[in-house]
Amino acid sequence: MSDGLKEDIANTIEEIKKPSGMSSGVNWLRHDGIKNTIFDEMLLNGVTKKQVAKILVDRQLNTDQNKALSWINRHLRHLKAEGKTECERGHKLHLIEDSYGNLRFDLKKMESMLNANTTAPPCKSTPSNPTKEDVDDAELQLRISGKPYGIEAVLDQIENNFKKAGKTLKENWREITKQNILVWFRK
């Protein structure tokens, strides 16, 4: 992606000017996780990382401030598309931070990018295995839905989340993820 996803930039500009919230369970960036949508919406008006962390902990979406701050930094990298590869999934949105630590979307910068009429080359998703964060997000989505769930439901939710995000899974991802879960959540 050279200049980001034009649709995401245009949708973010529109959302800043006229907030619409969620439609069909996803927000304007196609995010459907509770944490993602809360943070995305807070960035419309400006918010500090500590404020977001406090809300995530208060709503029991993270267990403590440090884990919340770690997740916030990962989500910011995703929004800015600061990835390891040129085609890593991300939005290439611009954010600014004021002297008080308030983060918000940079409307002027995104408008100038959109007006420059640049296009991004198509990227192909490299198949991958889910991370511990993917498992945590899927489990949280199922817990919030109130439905009973087990390992297969979590794996199904991960698969749905990957499809929605346009990411592909490796052929044997279920077996590998089951083994990883045993290691990640061993007590």
Residue 50 scores a pLDDT above 90? yes
Instruction: Report which of residues 23 and 144 the model is more confident about.
Output: 144
Can you give the pTM of this predicted structure? Answer: 0.60
Length of the chain, in residues: 187
Residue 82 scores a pLDDT above 70? no
Residues 98-130 pLDDT 10s: 888 999 989 898 888 777 755 445 555 688 899
Residues 163-184 pLDDT 10s: 877 788 999 999 999 999 999 8
* Residue 47 pLDDT grade (very low, low, confident, very high; cuts 50, 70, 90): very high
Domain spans in the chain, listed from the N-terminal domain onward: 6-115, 132-184
